[in-house]
Amino acid sequence: MQDKNDDQHLVGDEIAMPDLVRAVTDALERDDVAAATSLVEDLKAPDFADLIELLDPDERVALIQMLGPAFDFEVFSELDETVRDQLSEALPNELLARAVTELDTDDAAYLLENLEESDKQDILAQIPSSERQALERNFEYPEETAGRLMQADFVAVPPFWSVGNVIDHMRESEELPEHFSEIFVVDPSFRVLGSVDLSRLLRTKREVLISEIMDKDRHLVLATEGQEELARQFQRYDLMSAPVVDANNRLVGVVTVDDVVEVIQDEAEQDMKALAGVGDESLADSVIETVRSRVPWLIVNLGTAILGSFVIQAFDATIEQMVALAVLMPIVASMGGNAGTQTMTVAVRALATNKLGPVNAQRVITREALVGVVNGLVLSVIIGAVVFLWFGSSKLGAVIGVAMVVNSIAAALAGILIPLAMDKLDLDPAPASGVFVTTVTDVVGFFAFLGLASIWLI
């Protein structure tokens, strides 16, 4: 997927994005419809989405309304979720109703899902009944499930049709999806019996029955399946598409790989943000929304930092007698925190991809503990030598070396055990693990270093 932050790429007639934004803004200020249209008419949907996201909120609405019928509604499917929601609230319902009729079912659902119920019903009332029923069926399923992600348009035929019947049907029917690559074979109850790739269909003689060439080993997806698990199935079984069935095993839609690629990217971004204590925010969020997303975890971090300070305060007399301890304390805590973050990142990602669980947890925990021992020994030798050369004290070097080993082991165990515990409690390990791992490494690091110093040095 195109990098939204790369605003230097060329679009349209070799116009750099910053120049295009300035030109469109100038056309909007002059209310020059012809100029605005000529600037964006050759843009592909992803590039047009980039342009809209770089405009001010009022300019986005003005541009779309100015373009009128010339606006490509496919752009909505490429927009950042926050920007899309802002536009769906700001644009008139009549325009949104036209957009819904042109978008795939899943993209139309994304456009409407966060609207007020009254606006949603008003828009649904303006679209044809068949499309309204498909959207309403889509809304019956929870967000971030296969049912919400699926497209309601697909081609389904009975097994007793011949290849010629199917080809004639596709040529004559006006209600087929605009793009599709396979045909699903269903029984009278609309249960999936198999599927046929278009390439095989076109290479088979007309008189051959569909039942003879269909692939019976078809991977089915429940409409209530979570999108993370759905993405794992696409990756594991190399799927290009998958039929979606309801609780009665009846075909209700199809999920395609392009939608799953977006899910994989979104899930990876969410995990990355969560590890940093950042909510599901975007560059389009307001100051208040961004603060609301970030401040809770900062408050939690503040609390854990105070806990570390209590440990330091308990050894204040020791620190007063040897100032070098105050100089070296941050090294022990920092290295422990970094080591814990390394282990935690691997663990959280492994949990997210179902690569870590009860079967191999003990083995992974043992491995990480041994890694912590080895890392601690390597770092202790280095820091011990540095401290000896710096302060001329072999005892101080030994103290910080032992503390480094202790904290490296604690960091490794915390980095793997805390995510596992969060997952066991059915909590998302990504947002909370970082705070708790940092707390463990700070407290253990300070306690080990200062405690050993009080025993051996003072």
Quick: pLDDT tens for 355-366: 888 889 999 999
Q: What is the DSSP letter of 293?
A: H
Alpha carbons 191 and 249: distance in angstroms, whole number: 6
Can you give 249-273 as a three-state secondary structure string? CEEEEEEEHHHHHHHHHHHHHHHHH
In the three-class reduction of DSSP (H, G, I as helix; E, B as strand; rest coil), residue 126 is classed as: coil
Residues in the chain: 458
How many angstroms separate the most distant Cα atoms in the chain?
96
Work out the percent of the chain whose per-residue pLDDT is above 90. Answer: 49
Do 365 and 417 form a contact (C-beta atoms < 8 A)? yes
Give me the pLDDT at residue 195, please: 93
- The encoded tokens of residue 289 equal 């929304």
**Residue with more model confidence, 114 or 278:** 114
Is residue 441's pLDDT more than 60? yes
- With vertex at residue 99, the alpha carbon angle to CA 95 and CA 105, rounded to the nearest 5 degrees, is 145
Q: How far is residue 48's CA from residue 4's CA, in Å, rounded to a whole number?
A: 11
Structure tokens at 239: 């799927």
Tokens of 358: 């009860």
Mean of the pLDDT values across residues 20-25? 92
Across 245-254, 344-353, 399-408, least confident range: 344-353
User: Residue 294 has what DSSP assignment?
Assistant: H
What confidence category does residue 280 fall into, taking pLDDT thresholds of 50, 70 and 90? low
For 232-254, what is the mean pLDDT?
90
Q: In terms of pLDDT, which residue wins out, 372 or 285?
A: 372
Task: Evaluate if residue 2 carries a pLDDT over 60.
Answer: no
Q: Is the pLDDT of residue 308 over 90?
A: no
Higher-pLDDT residue of 131 and 13 is: 131
Task: Give mean pLDDT, residues 186-205.
Answer: 94
User: What is the mean pLDDT of the segment spanning 271-289?
Assistant: 70
Whether the predicted pLDDT of 395 surpasses 50:
yes
How many CB atoms are located within 10 Å of the residue 158 CB? 14
The answer to whether 119 touches 95, Cβ cutoff 8 Å, is: no
* CA atoms of 386 and 398, how far apart (whole Å): 11
- For the chain, give every domain's residue range: 10-143, 156-272, 287-456
Give the mean model confidence (pLDDT) for residues 410-434.
87
For residue 15, name the pLDDT band (cuts at 50, 70, 90).
Answer: low
Residue 275 has a pLDDT of 64
Its CATH architecture, for the domain 287-456, is: Orthogonal Bundle (1.10)
Q: Distance between CA 359 and CA 72 in Å, rounded?
A: 50
CA 272 – CA 278 distance, rounded (Å): 9
**Rounded average pLDDT over 389-414:** 93
DSSP reduced 3-state for 209: strand
Task: State the pLDDT at residue 218.
Answer: 83
Choice among 14-18, 113-117, 184-188, 407-411 with the minimum mean pLDDT? 14-18
Give residue 1's pLDDT. Answer: 39
CA distance 265 to 231: 10
Query: What is the tens place of the pLDDT at every residue in 45-64?
Result: 999 999 999 999 899 999 99
For domain 156-272, give the CATH number.
3.10.580.10
Give the residue-averaged pLDDT of 170-187.
Answer: 88
pLDDT (0 to 100) of residue 5: 43
- pTM, rounded to two decimals: 0.67
Q: Are the C-beta atoms of 61 and 89 separated by less than 8 Å?
A: no
Distance from C-alpha of 341 to C-alpha of 415, rounded to nearest angstrom: 7
Where does the pLDDT of residue 105 fall: very low under 50, low under 70, confident under 90, or very high at 90 and above?
A: confident
Which pLDDT value is given to residue 7? 41
383, 398 contact by CB (below 8 A): no
Numbers of helices and strands, H then E, in the chain: 21, 8
The answer to whether 223 and 147 have CB atoms below 8 angstroms apart is: yes
pLDDT tens figures, 205-222: 999 999 999 999 888 999
- The span from the CA of 407 to the CA of 399, in Å, is 12
Listed range (7-11, 194-198, 432-436) with the worst mean pLDDT: 7-11
In this structure, whether the domain defined by 10-143 belongs to CATH 1.25.60.10 is answered with yes
Sheet holding 251-256, edge to edge: 221-222, 241-245, 251-256
Report pLDDT for 8.
42
Listed range (66-80, 135-149, 294-308) with the worst mean pLDDT: 294-308
- The residues, any chain, with a CB within 8 Å of residue 62's CB and separated by 6 or more, are 28
pLDDT value for 205 = 95
The answer to whether the beta carbons of residues 211 and 160 sit under 8 Å apart is yes
- When pLDDT is averaged across residues 76-89 and rounded to a whole number, the result is 90
Which comes out higher in pLDDT, residue 306 or 432?
306
256 contacts 241 by C-beta, under 8 angstroms: yes
Give residue 12's pLDDT band: very low, low, confident or very high (50, 70, 90): very low
Q: What is the mean pLDDT of residues 341-368?
A: 88
Contact 91, 61 (CB under 8 A): yes
How many other C-beta atoms lie within 10 A of the C-beta of residue 450? 25
Stronger pLDDT, 423 or 284, i.e. the higher one: 423
Average pLDDT, the chain: 87
